[in-house]
Copies of this chain bind each other. A is one copy, B any other.
Amino acid sequence: MKIVCKKSNLLNGVQNVSKAVPVRTTMSILECILVDASQGEIKLTANDMEIGIETIIDGTIEQPGKIALEAKIFIEIVKKLPDNDITIETDEKNMTYIKCENSNFNLVGKSGDDYTYLPKIEKIDSIVLSQFTLKEIIRQTIFSIGAAEGSNKLMAGELFEIKDDVLKVVALDGHRIAVRKVKMKNAYGEKKVIVPGKALNEISKILPGDTDKDVEVFFTDKHIVFEFNTTTVVARLLEGEYFNINQMLSSDYETKMKINKNSLFSCIDRATLLASEGNSKPVIMQIEEGKMLMNMNSAIGSMSETIDIEKTGKDLVIGFNPKFLMDALKAIDDEIIDVYLVNSKAPCYIKNADETYNYMVLPVNFTTVS
């Protein structure tokens, strides 16, 4: 194989696919990036068997062929080479020569034939979203998924539910739920899949997020495929029946608080200073006519702060894990938000009128301090 391509193209390509290189694996070939110039285009591939990424880069093929190169050192070399044309050439023993200006690197590669390709997917059933929309909807929900090694594996994924022209994304762990809805340009048949959080995390890292460029998302029984620009990401779906969240999301409330989002966020942020690491002390909100008093008490000291609010309904004292509230607030763009509450034991909902977002957080017990 002999190919020539611009450093910037190659770097962008290897960095994209590197997100699918497993950190630890017993199959050493998976630690490699496959450079495949055997089919008339230069294609880079990485694959950890749960998520696979392919990207096609511009360049000249002087001699077709393919080679698998250890990802870590390959990326570092490309990164540090001068900003000019890079030539990659291999011999029949998989010795690889990487040249740029006066620099020459020799690496021992592995045969491309040993590489595990991405599964062939029949691309029939698809939806189209802007890159920006997909990136945003992931950011606005992903923090709510459960740990991958948790008791319930489905919590480590997000529900993608399509109905007509609406995409609904749901993430939940044992303590909170995040729901986001977006309108798409076209309507589609009903679909419901659970996408692993890890794959979504990696996609959102490499997705440029342009508002005027699209992602095409294909669905099969076992896989979801994201295609954007010259990159393809294939992820294995989680199998099972997702939680019925409709019965967890009530719209009854006894207390409604309208509050400035940034004021609330900064106030919780300050309160958490007093919670030493690993010790998740609750913040206590005392909701009254026209104001909310926040309290935090710990061995280090105490903190109190008042924020002006608009309240309807009953007064209420309720405690929360500060992190869960802050995560939800970070995902909301509105300046003024509505918080719906029932009593000190019932979930709270932060949502807007048309429910394009709905964040449910369970309260925590607390002992009232005088």
Is the CB of A301 closer than 8 A to any CB of chain B?
yes
* Alpha-carbon distance A162/B305, docked complex (angstroms): 56
**Contact call B267/A304, Cβ cutoff below 8 A:** no
Q: Which segment of A44-52, A100-108, A215-223 sits at the interface?
A: A100-108
Number of A residues with CB within 8 Å of any CB on chain B? 28
**Contact call A80/B270, Cβ cutoff below 8 A:** yes
**Contact call A82/B266, Cβ cutoff below 8 A:** yes
**Contact call B270/A305, Cβ cutoff below 8 A:** no
User: Chain B: which residue is nearest A105 at the CB level?
Assistant: B303
* Alpha-carbon distance A301/B102, docked complex (angstroms): 17
Instruction: Write the A265-296 contact mask toward B (1 if CB under 8 angstroms, else 0).
Output: 01101100110000000000000000000000
**Contact call B267/A103, Cβ cutoff below 8 A:** yes
Is the CB of A77 closer than 8 A to any CB of chain B?
yes
Please name all residues of chain B whose beta carbon is closer than 8 Å to the beta carbon of A269 when the two chains form the complex.
Answer: 80
* Alpha-carbon distance A36/B300, docked complex (angstroms): 22
User: Chain B: which residue is nearest A291 at the CB level?
Assistant: B102
* Alpha-carbon distance A304/B274, docked complex (angstroms): 55
Known: A102-B307, A306-B102. A107 touches B301 (CB 8 A): yes
Known: A270-B77, A273-B77. A301 touches B105 (CB 8 A): yes
* Alpha-carbon distance A304/B266, docked complex (angstroms): 54
Is the CB of A76 closer than 8 A to any CB of chain B?
yes
Is the CB of A211 closer than 8 A to any CB of chain B?
no
Please name all residues of chain B whose beta carbon is closer than 8 Å to the beta carbon of A104 when the two chains form the complex.
Answer: 303-305
**Contact call A301/B108, Cβ cutoff below 8 A:** yes
Cβ-neighbour of A106 out of B267, B270, B303 (below 8 A):
B303
**Contact call A76/B108, Cβ cutoff below 8 A:** no
Known: A82-B266, A266-B82. A106 touches B302 (CB 8 A): yes
* Alpha-carbon distance A3/B80, docked complex (angstroms): 53
User: Chain B: which residue is nearest A104 at the CB level?
Assistant: B304
Is the CB of A81 closer than 8 A to any CB of chain B?
yes
Q: For chain A, residues 65 to 112, give those with C-beta under 8 angstroms from any C-beta of chain B.
A: 70, 73, 76-77, 80-82, 102-108
User: Chain B: which residue is nearest A103 at the CB level?
Assistant: B305
User: Chain B: which residue is nearest A73 at the CB level?
Assistant: B300
**Contact call A273/B73, Cβ cutoff below 8 A:** yes
Please name all residues of chain B whose beta carbon is closer than 8 Å to the beta carbon of A300 when the two chains form the complex.
Answer: 70, 73, 107
* Alpha-carbon distance A269/B82, docked complex (angstroms): 12
User: Chain B: which residue is nearest A263 at the CB level?
Assistant: B102
* Alpha-carbon distance A73/B272, docked complex (angstroms): 11
* Alpha-carbon distance A301/B269, docked complex (angstroms): 49
Residue from A82, A105, A304, A307 with most neighbouring chain B CB atoms (10 Å): A105
Please name all residues of chain B whose beta carbon is closer than 8 Å to the beta carbon of A303 when the two chains form the complex.
Answer: 103-106
What distance in Å separates the Cβ of A170 from its nearest Cβ neighbour in chain B? 33
Please name all residues of chain B whose beta carbon is closer than 8 Å to the beta carbon of A306 when the two chains form the complex.
Answer: 102
User: Chain B: which residue is nearest A301 at the CB level?
Assistant: B107
What distance in Å separates the Cβ of A33 from its nearest Cβ neighbour in chain B? 15
**Contact call B106/A273, Cβ cutoff below 8 A:** no
Please name all residues of chain B whose beta carbon is closer than 8 Å to the beta carbon of A77 when the two chains form the complex.
Answer: 270, 273
Give the 4 A-B CB pairs with smallest separation, nearest first. A107-B301, A103-B305, A106-B302, A102-B306
A residues within 8 Å of B by Cβ?
A: 70, 73, 76-77, 80-82, 102-108, 266-267, 269-270, 273-274, 300-307
